[in-house]
Amino acid sequence: MAITETREETGTDLAVASPLVPAPVSFLGTGEHTVVGVVYILASILFGVAGLVGWALTGIHGATGSFLSDSVAEQVFQTSALGLVLLVLVPLFLGIGTYVVPLQVGARTIAFPRAAAAGLWTWLLSSGLFIVAASIDGGFGGGRPEAVSLGLLSVLGLILALLLGTVCVLSTAIGLRAPGMTLDRVPMTTFALLAGGAVWVLTLPVLAANLLLMWVDLRYGDGSLSGSQGQFAQVAWILQQPQIYAFVVPGLGIVADVVATFTGTRLERRGLFLVGIGAFAVLGIGAWAQPVLFPDASEQLVWQVISVAQVLPVLLLLGGLATALRKGRPALRGALGLALVSMLVLLLAVVAGALLAITPLDLRGSGSAEVGQFALVVAAGLTMAAAGVAYWSPKMTGRMPSDAPAKLGTPLMLVGGVLAGASLVVAGFETKFSGIADLLDALTWISVVGAGILALGLVLALLGLLSGTRHGAAEAGADAWGTGQTLEWKYASPPGDHVLGDLPVVHSPEPLLDEEA
């Protein structure tokens, strides 16, 4: 089968259960979207823990000044920050999308399964090279040109792989929808992945162009294009607003799906949710605001307006979620707690972003507030993904997971996220309030503790997923929570190779509720 082909649909009515990750031989050669998705999720959670530990180490260095050498601390910080986006946030959401989107739209497979598998393996290989390069002084501005060259190529590989996987998910969402499932009827997670994925497709190539030029300059040129000190500055725009918001867009859909399921109600004014998610994605296009190309981008009115406007879609979504909670009967599940907490952290992040845009506050001067805002966005994204993992874990494992890790993780992700990010945002006020300058070390230590708590929360998310594989866990039915609304809850848990016989006809965004009615 060519890589450009999609598998012929030869469905049967039978669903065959499969383990979370199959035996190594079939696992290595498979293009099954369920396996590809789970491998993305498992690997990116592990990378997430490592990235947060790296983040904490640089924080310790910042507080003590002697924990690492300055150059090592800088490289660890840059590697951790970029890794938290390209090795954690994007692949985590991509993994969830790879697993869930085909099921949600009623497709029996992902479009281009071989390409999706190629994307996964390229991402894993590039991740390994990225870590190896960083560990041998090959981070941005590193001292060994060959290692730096390897590092730049590995990031190019990461981008290529993530784009490949994203195109597969987007093609599935657009091209393989069940009859009657118009774009305004697709489940929220699928819609959010469409919106966010489209932004990734348009902006990650811009980062790739930067990296390619840097690599040619380093390898064959005279270094005048970027210079070793300018390398990270040339890619740092993806870690700053507005671009950083683009990487958590899929999480908004996850939150909406989780809340709808656990409140047992249809989302009212669904159109506003779609507008909110779409607006958040569009405002998150940040490739134009590269400080290296436009040093005064953050001084421009358009940047400041966008930074403030980013608060509005979040408020809109929070209003919709509050309505669902008020009108429904919320089930006290860990996934619901994580989903709600993630929106609170995201609200903090966009408010911090709006504060950054207010020039008289002078928050952009020290850099602490920008780093803190990045940490808040990452924490929100990780919490959204943790909610998604807890929500779909019965589908993935075929058994009901223990809810304790998700319930315990809810306060941890909230506290960890706020401590890791908000403390640094407060530190950014040092030029405005003299007392804060004396507290900088303490605030840095608080951020370190927050990063550690976040890492613990991620470990709990992983344990929650794995708890579904333990012996003695109750089997999950097709509709594991009993209140599923979208098509993935129609399939057996876990879905087999051929999950459906006949394609369902969809008449609304909540086809399972239509059936029950």
Partner 1 sequence: MTTHLLPPAPPVERPRVLLVATSFAAAASFMLFVAALGVYLLARTEVIATGSAWLPQGVVIPLPQPNTIFMTLLLSVVTIQWAVNAIAHNDRQNAFLAFGLTLAMGAASIVMTTYLWTLMKLDVAGGVQGVLIYTITAGHMIMLIVAMVFVALMALRALGGQFDSRQHDGVTAAAIYWHTMVFVYALIWIIIYVTK
Interacting residue with partner 1 among 224, 296, 434, 472 (CB under 8 A) = 224
| Part of the chain binding partner 1 (CB under 8 A), chosen from 94-102, 320-328, 438-446, 482-490 | 482-490
Q: Which of 10, 23, 220, 360 binds partner 1 (CB under 8 A)?
A: 220
CB-wise, 100 or 111, nearer to partner 1?
111
Least spacing, CB of residue 482 vs partner 1, in Å: 7
The nearer residue to partner 1, 61 or 177, going by C-beta atoms, is 177
Measured between alpha carbons, how far is 504 from 250 in angstroms, rounded to an integer?
25
Judged by CB under 8 A, does residue 482 bind partner 1?
yes
- The one-letter amino acid code at 442 reads A
| Total chain residues near partner 1 (CB under 8 A) | 58
2 or 332: whose CB is closer to partner 1?
A: 2
Taking CB under 8 A as the criterion, the residue among 25, 222, 471, 517 binding partner 1 is 222
CB of 387 to partner 1, least distance (A): 23
Radius of gyration of the chain (CA): 22
Measured distance CA(335)–CA(338) in Å, rounded = 5
In angstroms, the Cα distances linking 42 to 36, 49, 104, 124 are 10, 11, 21, 11
Residue from 176, 281, 306, 462 in contact with partner 1 (CB under 8 A): 176
Which of 111, 355, 386, 422 is the binder for partner 1 (CB under 8 A)? 111
Q: Give, as one character, the DSSP assignment of residue 398.
A: S
Whether the Cβ atoms of residue 102 and residue 169 lie closer than 8 Å to each other = no
3-state secondary structure of 32: coil
In the list 179, 271, 365, 367, the residue contacting partner 1 (rule: CB under 8 A) is 179
Among 43, 96, 153, 206, binds partner 1 (CB under 8 A): 206
CA–CA gap between residue 327 and residue 426 (Å, rounded): 37
Q: Return the residue of 27, 53, 145, 217 that touches partner 1, per CB under 8 A.
A: 217
Closest CA to 496 of 164, 118, 41, 10: 10
Separation of alpha carbons 241 and 370, rounded Å: 9
**Which of 54-62, 346-354, 441-449, 508-516 is the region at the interface with partner 1 (rule: CB under 8 A)?**
508-516
Query: In the bound complex, what is the minimum distance in angstroms from residue 137's beta carbon to partner 1?
Result: 23
Asked if 486 touches partner 1 (CB under 8 A), the answer is no
Q: Which of 29, 65, 143, 221 binds partner 1 (CB under 8 A)?
A: 221
Q: How far is the CB of 114 from partner 1 (least distance, A)?
A: 12
Least separation in angstroms between CB 218 and partner 1 = 9
Q: Which listed residue (213, 297, 354, 449) binds partner 1 by CB under 8 A?
A: 213
Q: Distance (Å, rounded) from C-alpha 379 to C-alpha 449?
A: 13
φ/ψ of 292, rounded to 5, equals: -70, -40
Contact present, 384 and 339 (Cβ < 8 Å): yes
Binding mask 241-280 for partner 1 (x = CB under 8 A): ----------------------------------------
CA distance 383 to 94: 15
Residue 183 gets which letter from DSSP?
G
Exactly one of 170, 317, 355, 427 binds partner 1 (CB under 8 A); which one?
170
Distance, C-alpha 268 to centroid of its chain: 26
Q: Spell out a b/e string for 43-55, using b for 16 or more CB atoms within 10 Å of the CB, else e.
A: bbbebbbbbbebb
Q: Which residue's entry shows tokens 């994007």? A: 90
The enclosing H or E element of 486 equals none
Question: From the CB of 491, what's the least distance to partner 1, in Å?
Answer: 10
d(CA 326, CA 328): 6
Binding site for partner 1 (CB under 8 A): 2, 4, 6, 9, 111-112, 163, 166-168, 170-172, 174-180, 198, 201-206, 208-210, 212-213, 216-217, 220-222, 224-225, 287, 293, 477-479, 482, 489-490, 501-506, 511-512, 514-516
